[in-house]
Amino acid sequence: MQIQVDIGFEQLVKIAKRLPENQWTKLKEEVEKDNINFKDSSDLESLILSAPTFDEGQLNRIEKTRKAINQWRKK
């Protein structure tokens, strides 16, 4: 059986501060153990670096389209 509870960040901090010393230590160890080091996420970096980019012509076309839409909206 699972229960999902939405707790705000401030409430979570208050709950954590009320933990006994031994539970606080265990919680801190667990959080630090599972901490994701984003410098090591080569998958995310490779995804971002391999993502498609706009060339100069496409950027010019987007700019012209935005101007046309803005003028159309003003009429």
| 65: helix, strand or coil | helix
| 3 assigned to some structural domain | no
Residue 52 has pLDDT above 80, yes or no: yes
Question: 8-28, pLDDT tens digit by residue?
Answer: 889 988 999 999 999 999 988
| 58 assigned to some structural domain | yes
**pTM over 0.75, yes/no:** no
Return d(Cα 9, Cα 47) in angstroms, integer.
30
Question: 60-70, pLDDT tens digit by residue?
Answer: 999 999 999 99
33: amino acid identity, one letter:
K
Return d(Cα 58, Cα 62) in angstroms, integer.
6
| 2 assigned to some structural domain | no
DSSP state of 39: G
| 65 assigned to some structural domain | yes
Return d(Cα 34, Cα 14) in angstroms, integer.
22
Q: Work out how many domains the chain is built from and give that number.
A: 1
Question: 31-49, pLDDT tens digit by residue?
Answer: 887 666 655 567 778 888 8
State the residue range of the domain holding 52: 9-35+42-74
CA-only gyration radius of the chain, Å: 24
